[in-house]
Amino acid sequence: MQPILKVQSLHKTYRVRVGLLKRKNVPVLTDISFCLGKGETIAVIGETGAGKSTLAKLLAGAEQAETGQILLDGTTIEDDGVRQDHCRHIRMIFQDPTRSLNPGLTIGEILDDCLSYNTELTHKQRDKKIAHVLIRVGLLEEHYHYYPHMFSGGQLQRVALARALILDPKVLVLDEALSSLDPSVRAQTVNLLLALQRETGLSYVLITHHLSLVKHMSDSLLVLNKGKVVEYGKTAQVFAQPKSKVMKRLLNV
Amino acid sequence: MHLLDIKNLTIELPTENGVIRAVDKVNLSLKEGEVHALVGESGSGKSLIAKAIVGVLNKRWRVTADRMHWQGVDLMRLPPEKRRKLVSQDIAMIYQEPSRSLDPTAKVFEQVSESIPEESLSGNFLVRRQLRKKRVKALLHKVGIRDDKRVADSYPHELSEGICQKVMIAMAIARNPKLLIADEPTTALESTTRAQVFRLLKSLNQLKNMSVLMISHELEEITTWSHAMHVLYCGQMVEAGPTEKVFNAPLHPYTQALVKSLPDYAQGLAHKESFYALKGTIPPLQHLPIGCRLGPRCPQAQKQCVVTPKQKKSHGHTFACHFPLLKEDKKCNPS
């Protein structure tokens, strides 16, 4: 089966100023490769500073890699740092929904912006699509006119999900999107994500440090340490027989 | 004897549109050397209770309690100076978001040395200074900070969140408190540092017989080592009792939902299957439902639920529900 997302030997370095004139290259990600099938979830775990968030940004197109390719559905969308298509098929949800939504726009305007900049739909079609997507994430059509401060944290994460889904992406990157939620709301959000995956065959890249969620939601697992892949395999297998030191340490606690 | 004994603690906020009751008649009692967990979602009033115990709540809040005894002394009836003295001697608190609750204008050394009690040092000025330095070093080592020199000589913004949290703990244990209130001490930390912090608190509890009141919204991380658990929902105590009983045989629908939303504890849940989750979201404090506050979200709500349920107690297990969940009876002779 053709994987929906394929990442081949991705490298990323940051330039850091050392002294007055010198610059140093600090590698953040070295040689990252993985595949993700349709309707599957890959979880990325690792300690802070392991490069998880950088990987998320690279996938979503917020930053460019030095070398390496990202293939979506068989076509190359990023080749050695040159991006072909922007933020249409790989969408991202951030950690804190209260800070990742514009407080000055209504929910409808936020969603409408996504559509008007990325698609050629008419005004009427856009409105119809927004209403559709709001219902799909478990909100109401009337929420079009609401501002972000009128929602609770869990509902805001739904709005963020709606913003990600409105362009009909193939892959969703969840960068700690579930960790700031309360347990009962988190269970609801997980249920929603799982239902969406079942119905539409969406793929997720789940970045989290919540191991029990990883176990429950993901099919394969990527363990990062200092920018390198230390373990990659089926989730159940990695959990049953961890090979790397990092994974063993994570499982012990 | 109870170390801390609170009955009917109510915390209210008078506003223009009426009084908001953020914490409604909460009972809590803690014996020496026990670890208690206070569990609830955001807005359930966990932090308010902690702050009310320490007495650092803003003046706008109205705190009333039938009794709030600390080792037999009623804290509510003490004059503020005396109360402050008593509390600062015996109770220490670790606040949420350490990088925000440390003083940004002072170095870590100053802040930690400030929390070391003057009485514990003896000798003249110079000797005391040396002792103080030694104590700070020892405290930082104790909480697992290895390069104490660098940390002691830096400002809070130069340190990572995890180290700030450890500094907060060092300051809290400097006086050897009898009770440590930890308000979500691990939310900002990643799993390995989190385990370190828990190990530290656990060893303090076991070696020094220090009681701990842990406040958290993550159930799974505290159930393994707390003796008793109190579950709060929207300011109402829904269930309290020994951890094992509450966790394994919850009587309140909310506790059950909390336990079932943990993938590790929901028995028989297949991979990628939906969790059991309550409908709706936590109501904001301005629009609390009357009676049982879980009412609108509760799967078993009935007409009586508009009346606030009384707390019932059986075998040390308290719950407040009109229709408690029944344990499934094991049949002796299945026919």
Subunit contact A154:B281, Cβ cutoff 8 A: yes
Q: What is the pLDDT of residue B334?
A: 47
Q: What is the pLDDT averaged over residues B123-141?
A: 88
- Is pLDDT of B104 > 80? yes
Cβ-based contacts of B273 with chain A (< 8 Å) = 194
Contact at CB, A209 and B190, closer than 8 angstroms: yes
User: How many CB atoms neighbour CB A197 within 10 A?
Assistant: 19
Nearest to A68 by CA among A37, A15, A36, A31: A31
B322: Cβ contacts below 8 Å, ≥ 6 apart: B292, B302, B304, B305, B307, B309
| Rounded-to-integer distance, Cα A214 and Cα A19, Å | 42
**The 3-state secondary structure of A123-167, one letter per residue:** HHHHHHHHHHHHHHCCCCHHHHHCCHHHCCHHHHHHHHHHHHHCC
Chain B residues touching A249 at Cβ < 8 A: 192
Segments of chain B assigned E as strands: 2-15, 18-31, 35-39, 62-64, 67-70, 73-74, 91-94, 179-183, 211-216, 228-233, 236-242, 312-314, 317-319
Q: Name the DSSP class of B289.
A: P
ipTM of the prediction greater than 0.90, yes or no: no
Which tokens in the block code for residue B240? 């309290």
CB B32 within 8 A of CB B13: no
Q: Which residue of A has its CA nearest to B196?
A: A253
- How far is Cα B175 from Cα B204, in angstroms, rounded to an integer? 13
A47 vs B: CB within 8 A: yes
The Cα–Cα gap between B219 and B226 comes to 11
CA B74, B79, B84, B85 torsion-angle sign: negative
Model pLDDT for residues B23-80, shown as the tens digit of each residue: 888 888 888 888 888 888 777 888 888 888 888 888 888 888 888 888 888 888 888 8
A to B CB pairs, distance under 8 Å: 73
Share of chain A above pLDDT 90, in %: 2
Confidence label for B265 from pLDDT (cuts 50, 70 and 90): low
Which residue of chain A comes nearest to B254, CA vs CA? Answer: A184
Rounded to whole angstroms, the Cα distance separating B66 from B46 reads: 19
Look up the pTM and report it: 0.79
What is residue B208's predicted lDDT score, i.e. its pLDDT?
Answer: 84
Contact B261 A48 (CB under 8 A): no
- Per the prediction, chain B carries an average pLDDT of 82
Q: What is the C-alpha separation between B54 and B191, in angstroms, rounded? A: 29
Is residue B278 within 8 angstroms of chain A, CB to CB? yes
**Model confidence at B267, in pLDDT bands (50, 70, 90)?**
low
Q: Which residues of chain A have pLDDT under 50?
A: none
Q: Phi-psi bin for A81: left (phi > 0), alpha (psi -120 to 50), beta?
A: left
Q: What is the Cβ-side half-sphere exposure of residue B202, based on CA atoms within 13 angstroms?
A: 13
